[in-house]
Chain A
Amino acid sequence: MTILSKFKIAALAAGVALTNALPAAHADEQYFPLQSYRVGPYAAGGTGFFGGFIDYLNLINTRDGGVNGVKLTWSEAETQYEVERGVEAYERLKSNPNVAAWNPLSVGIAYAMIDRITADKVPLITINHGRTDSTDGRVFPYVFPLLLNPYSETSGIVNYIASKEGGPESLKGKKIVVLYHGSPYGKETIPIYELLAEKFGFELQQIEVPHPGNEQQSQWLTIRRAKPDYVVLRGWGVMNPVALKTAAKTGFPVDHIIGNVWSNSEEDVIPAGEAAKGYTAITIQASGTEYPVVKEIVSAVYDKGLGNLEDKNRIGSVYHNLGIVNGILNVEAVRIAQEKFGNRTLTGDEVRWGFEHLELDPARVEALGAKNLFHSINVTWDNHEGNGYVTFQQWDGKKWNVVSDWIAPDWALLRPIIEKSSEAYAEEKGIKLRTAEDAEAATN
């Protein structure tokens, strides 16, 4: 790390927006405002995700000259993952022209932005996370929890456990403990686990770990006494390595702990050392550098000195690859929207239309150089998640290894619950449910 780059981080820490590719009021540019977090407690995840996202945008610019001639631009504002800073960054960045979509990678910031982006008619992408009922595009026209919402994640994890036990019927009589972070994020899946326990007949115990989760002795002693077959770790930050270490300390087998999407990165397992070996976690994107798109990023971006990660060893890490997949989805939404509206700079509402027609089947994913990096997506005007598939990876002490096929969550089971929640939200807010015809119209 050079002294110059350290001062760059210092400037970010001071809340100064660092412009990597200055947005300008140019007719053939599409701008991505990035509310990133490169300092503070979640900097490791932020630098990886936004690094991957920027690397992909850079690849499109350097390799293709942009999307059909439209150059991609972006600038960053530091949030430190704090909601108020995220909102302030939003207010600051939204004045830039040609905004395509917002990608804050923060549940709290995303929640605070929903009314604002809806009024502005610009998409808000919450890949892998976000509020579950924003899947319903009838109520949330501009919010996209792409690939995986928390309920689908829950269903995917239970389906994986079922596959390990020999099928869904084998879950009957089994005992599963969910160890969740004491926050709205952690508590969001409580009802869906209860529903799935009832459906499959497994015994369920849900145990809260108070934020930040750096003490879990009592929770794991309770788990040891409960003698569950599996523990699902719905953690965040320091809670994850502490959970793995405390599990080892209390004698619970690590290969029977299944992590959720915010417990699946290198940052979650490396601090746990030996205690993390054999730990399995869900993911929507595989890690590693063997995928053609990642190789292209190395050759076309990093080898030319344009890479965003300061440590090249992090190329292909979980958060970096998540950023790349997020880049692919954003760029393809722009490309699809251009097919309808023309190869020019698009409005936010036109990009929204693009996201609502974002269909990337496995063949298209392969053509993009991302075969097995992620499976596929099929977003529609009323399904903003897009039926993403999940897979599971196991930590061997040095790297993650994929240990399952692509698994489909039980979307049919989940949809009515999602609609019930979104319709209640619509009623509370006085929102008229959108129709397919409403969705087809895009303002320019």
Chain B
Amino acid sequence: MSDFDWLFFTEVLVGGLLSGVMYSLVAIGFVLIYKTSGVLNFAQGALLLFAALTFVSLVERGVPFALALAVTFALMVVIGIAIERTVLRPLTNKPPITLFMATLGLSYVMEGAAQLVWGTQVHALELGIEDLPFDVGGVFISQFDIFAAAVAAGMVALLSVFFRYTRVGLAFRAVADDQFAALAVGLRLPWIWATVWATAGLVALVAGLLWGARLGVQFSLSLVVLKALPVLVLGGFDSILGAIVGGLLIGASEKLAEVYLGDYFGGGIESWFAYVAALAFLLIRPSGLFGQKLVERV
């Protein structure tokens, strides 16, 4: 082990953890919807694409940054409410697979709509944060990744406060715990669901901007959902903390696996390694690290 390059190991590990934060950002959008309505929203990637494309298209047309951000957020809120009204409400009480298929269809509609409205060209997105490394004791760390991690931390803190200390947040938690009990005490489920979808739209906007700055704003942005799925399996579908921890674990493990095990499998293993890790974990703990255990009376 004396020949082992610990500096390089640290660099891979840190890079993986920071990549994991980016996965978590997408996963949080899933968690919000799943937590309150039990729907695995496959359209989260398409929402992310739509948000980023809208924002960058507005900026390119001369709209100031802050105004573009506000307009895009408003649009995402409207879209969230529209989805609840036109897709989810008519499907209330339908089996989960029906709702999942509805969001799958919705993702195609959103992807098509994004290209229809804003065109097919790719766009660069500059957030004013340079993606250059700085040297910490020989380990290169990306400034942009640090910024993304800070944004993710801020968002988790904000959502935690929101869920814990606001009336709307408490209503979310009530609905998440028991929809029928929430109805019985007078909570308006459709309004809560619409608010949740709007919040997921905000998360999609933030994730879309960060991922867009990293990849460029283009159709492939919608594929980042594939990075979020193993994170959800590992962390639990209904836990924001789980999304963060799951993202860190998946990010670090897939990068380390690619570097240290990749050669044994011919390389290019990180995309499926994350799923293998998630599947293995699923067998041990089906509800994920922080997900609620489902107990049903039969």
Chain A residues with CB below 8 A from B119, complex form: 1, 310-311
Say how far B104's CB is from chain A's closest CB, in angstroms: 16
Distance from A315 Cβ to chain B, minimum over Cβ atoms (Å): 14
**Within the complex, what minimum Cβ distance (angstroms) separates A273 from chain B?**
5
> Which one of A36-44, A373-381, A417-425 is at the B interface?
A36-44
Verify B133–A210 contact, CB threshold 8 A: no
- B148 CB within 8 Å of chain A: no
B-chain residues with CB within 8 Å of residue A1 when the two chains form the complex = 119
Given A6-B116, A221-B11, does the pair A241, B215 have CB atoms closer than 8 Å?
A: yes
Q: In the complex the two chains form, is B255's CB within 8 Å of A212's CB?
A: no
Q: Using known A-B contacts A1-B119, A13-B112, determine if residue A271 contacts B219 with beta carbons closer than 8 Å.
A: no
Q: Give Cα distance in the complex from A9 to B12, angstroms.
A: 43
Chain B residues with CB below 8 A from A222, complex form:
259
A13-B116, A245-B131 known; A221 and B271 CB under 8 Å? no
Whether the pair B220, A208 counts as a contact (CB closer than 8 A) is no
Cβ of A272 < 8 Å from any Cβ of B?
A: yes
Q: Which of B112-145 contact A (CB under 8 A)?
A: 112, 115-117, 119-126, 130-133, 140, 142, 144-145
What is the CA–CA distance of A218 and B145 in the complex, to the nearest angstrom?
14
Q: Report Cα–Cα, A208/B255, bound state, in Å.
A: 13
Stretch binding the partner chain, chosen from B85-93, B154-162, B175-183, B262-270: B262-270
Residues of the B chain whose Cβ atoms lie less than 8 Å from the Cβ of A251: 133, 140
Cα distance A287–B290 in the bound complex, in angstroms: 54
Residue from the list B117, B133, B140, B223 in contact with A214, Cβ < 8 A: B223
State whether A221 touches B131 (Cβ < 8 A).
Answer: no
Using Cβ atoms and an 8 Å threshold, which residues of chain B touch A433? none
A182 neighbours in B (Cβ, 8 Å): 267-268, 271
Q: Please measure, in the bound complex, the distance between the C-alpha atom of A227 and the C-alpha atom of B295, giving whole angstroms.
A: 55
Q: Which of A207, A212, A219, A267 contacts B223 (CB 8 A)?
A: A212
Interface 0/1 of A222-238, CB less than 8 Å to B: 10110000000000011
Chain A nearest Cβ from B136, distance in angstroms: 13
Q: How far is A47 from B248 in the complex, measured between Cα atoms in Å?
A: 39
B residues less than 8 Å from A206 (CB atoms): 267
Residues of chain A with a CB closer than 8 A to B144's CB: 249
Contacts of B117 in A (CB 8 A): 6
Taking A215-B270, A221-B15, A311-B121 as contacts, is the C-beta distance between A249 and B131 under 8 angstroms? yes
Taking the closest CB of chain B, its distance from the CB of A255, in whole angstroms, is: 16
In the bound complex, do residue A273 and residue B126 qualify as a contact, i.e. CB atoms below 8 Å apart?
A: yes
Contact bitstring A191-215, B, C-beta under 8 A = 1, else 0: 0000000000000001111111011
Q: Which of B19, B256, B267 contacts A207 (CB 8 A)?
A: B267
Give chain B nearest CB distance to A2 CB in angstroms: 12
Residue of B nearest to A237 (CB): B220
Q: When the two chains form their complex, are residues B115 and A43 in contact, meaning their CB atoms are under 8 A apart?
A: yes
Pair B133/A242 contact, Cβ less than 8 Å: no
**Interchain CB contact under 8 A, B124 and A273:** yes
Is B200's beta carbon under 8 Å from chain A? no
In the bound complex, how far is the Cα of B220 from the Cα of A225, in angstroms? 29
Is A249 within 8 A of B133, CB to CB?
Answer: yes
B255–A270 CB distance below 8 A: no
Interface size class, chain A:
35 or more
A44 touches B121 (CB 8 A): yes
A residues less than 8 Å from B219 (CB atoms)? 40-43
Q: Are A250 and B140 in contact (CB under 8 A)?
A: yes
A266 to chain B, nearest CB (A): 8
Judged by a CB distance under 8 angstroms, whether B8 is at the interface is yes
Max chain B C-beta neighbours (<10 A), residue from A208, A214, A251, A274: A214
A218 in contact with B120 (CB, 8 Å): no
Q: Mark A40-59, 1 if CB is under 8 A from B, else 0.
A: 11111001000000000000
CA distance A272 to B125 in the complex (A): 9
Contacts of A363 in B (CB 8 A): none
A13 cross-chain contacts in B, Cβ below 8 A? 112, 115-116
Which of chain B's residues have a CB closer than 8 A to the CB of A245? 131, 214
Residue in contact with B220 in the complex, picked from A9, A41, A209, CB distance below 8 Å = A41
- Is A272's CB under 8 angstroms from B216's CB? yes
Q: A1-B119, A250-B140, A273-B124 are in contact. Are A238 and B220 (CB under 8 A)?
A: yes
Inter-subunit contact A242/B19 (CB<8 Å)? no
Report whether B270 and A210 are in contact in the complex, using a CB–CB cutoff of 8 Å. Answer: yes
**In the docked arrangement, what's the CA distance between A45 and B120, Å?**
9
- A-B contacts, 10 of them at CB < 8 A, read A9-B116, A41-B218, A217-B12, A218-B15, A218-B256, A245-B214, A249-B133, A267-B218, A271-B125, A311-B121
Chain B interface residues (CB < 8 Å from chain A): 5, 8, 11-12, 15-16, 19, 112, 115-117, 119-126, 130-133, 140, 142, 144-145, 214-220, 223-224, 227, 254-256, 258-259, 262, 266-272
Having A224-B140, A249-B142, one finds 13 other A-B pairs with CB under 8 Å, namely A41-B219, A41-B220, A44-B120, A182-B267, A206-B267, A209-B268, A214-B223, A215-B19, A217-B19, A221-B11, A242-B214, A251-B140, A310-B119
Shortest Cβ-Cβ A-B pairs, 8 listed: A271-B216, A208-B268, A43-B120, A210-B271, A238-B220, A208-B267, A218-B258, A41-B219
